[in-house]
Amino acid sequence: MRARLLRYWQQCWQSGIFLAVCLILFVLYGYRLLAILPLYTRAAVRMNVQKQLQQFASERGVLVSSLMLRRVTDTDMTIIQREYKKGPDDEQCVRIVFASSSVTSCDASL
């Protein structure tokens, strides 16, 4: 009986040390994950904005360049206004107004 208790005790303290190390890492990284969760949220919103922008342009038969997509910054979370017009020389232009800036691009290289 005593030997068995001793064996259980040995197994428990060994597992306990391992679990304690894991718990420390879990708290450390869990806390860090909570701190950076908003980053992931913003990245998701940003991807959504880019998707909308591409959809908006493709509905009107124009291409959205990667340059324009890069202009969608983290602060440009909301598209306030989207405009499509024919330019002075029949260029196809898309003007998109974001919360903090506006982007206008013309012709097929848009």
Partner 1 sequence: MRRIFVVIGLEVMAVFLAVSQWLQGIHTDEAKYVLNIPYPHPPLARFILSLTDGWAYQELFWRIVFSTLVIQAVWLVRDMFKDRSREEKVYACAFWLLSPAVLLQAGSIMMAPLTALELLVFVWLYVRARRVLGETGKAGDIWRIRDMWIGLWWLASLFTAYQAVLFAPLAWAAFRRDTPWRARMAVVYVALPLLLLALYTFTNPLSLASMALKQGQGAAGTLADKLHGALLLWAFGGGVWAVLGIAGIFKWKQWELILTFLLITAYTALSYFGYYAILFTPLFVAGLAQFRLPRLWMTILLVLQVGLMKLYFLPSGYPLPGPARAVMQEIRNNHLQGFVLIQGSFGHDWQYESVFPIRRYKKSLEKDAQAVVCLPVCTEKIDETRWRQLAVAEPAKVYVKFAPPQ
Contact footprint for partner 1 (CB under 8 A):
11, 14-15, 17-19, 21-22, 25-26, 29-30, 32-33, 36, 39-40
Residue 74 vs 83, nearer CB to partner 1: 74
- d(Cα 10, Cα 2) in Å, to the nearest integer? 12
Residue 36 vs 90, nearer CB to partner 1: 36
Output the smallest distance, CB 81 to partner 1, in A: 31
- d(Cα 21, Cα 92) in Å, to the nearest integer? 61
Output the smallest distance, CB 35 to partner 1, in A: 8
Closest CA to 69 of 90, 55, 53, 85: 53
Q: Which residues of 33-45 are buried (b: 16+ CB within 10 A; e: fewer)?
A: eeeeeeeeeeeee
Output the smallest distance, CB 72 to partner 1, in A: 17
Residue 24 vs 80, nearer CB to partner 1: 24
